Amino acid sequence: RERLVDREDREDFYQEPLDVEEMLRKMEETRKRAFDYETEDKIGGVIQKAVEALIKMICTDLHPEKLSLANESLKNTRTLAIKHDKVHETKSDPLREKAYEVCEKLEEAFGVLIAKEIKERAEIKKEVEVKEEEK
């Protein structure tokens, strides 16, 4: 197990190495369950798009364009779901409100990751160009 923090007295500071394939399999199962739920409740579609965006993030190595498309899809789905969500209008389900809020925060986090990735890729491209000019 990998040490995350220099503390020996707390078991929760240790983490098992990630099994990415298993994680993706479980995420795909969650995505499918959310898709099945979407016919009953539009929030299922929002959850489905959130999981799809997470899968895209993992599988594309933060490719800005692909992640932007997934993020935009999540945002559009969430916006439409909220617009047509009668329960949301009454604010009578706090858990539902939190689900929408978490997805919105996920969109914001993806935006930050996308911006960072674009910046890093531009810096790498610039470094390569400078090295080529030096030759």
Domain boundaries, the chain: 2-134
78 CB-near residues (< 8 Å, 6+ apart): 46, 49, 100, 103, 104, 107
* In the predicted structure, residue 4 carries a pLDDT above the cut 50: no
Q: How far is CA 125 from the centre of its chain?
A: 26
Asked if the model's pLDDT at residue 102 lies above 90, the reply is: yes
Q: What is the pLDDT of residue 7?
A: 47
Residue of 46, 24, 28 lying closest to 37 (CA atoms): 46
Please say if the pLDDT value at position 127 is more than 60.
yes
pLDDT in tens, 44-88: 999 999 999 999 998 988 899 999 999 999 999 999 999 988 877
- Residues 94-100 have a mean pLDDT of 90
Query: Is the separation of the CB atoms in 35 and 48 below 8 Å?
Result: yes
Q: Which of 9-13, 43-47, 106-110 has the highest mean pLDDT?
A: 106-110
| pLDDT recorded at residue 2 | 40
CA–CA separation, 59 and 62 (whole Å): 8
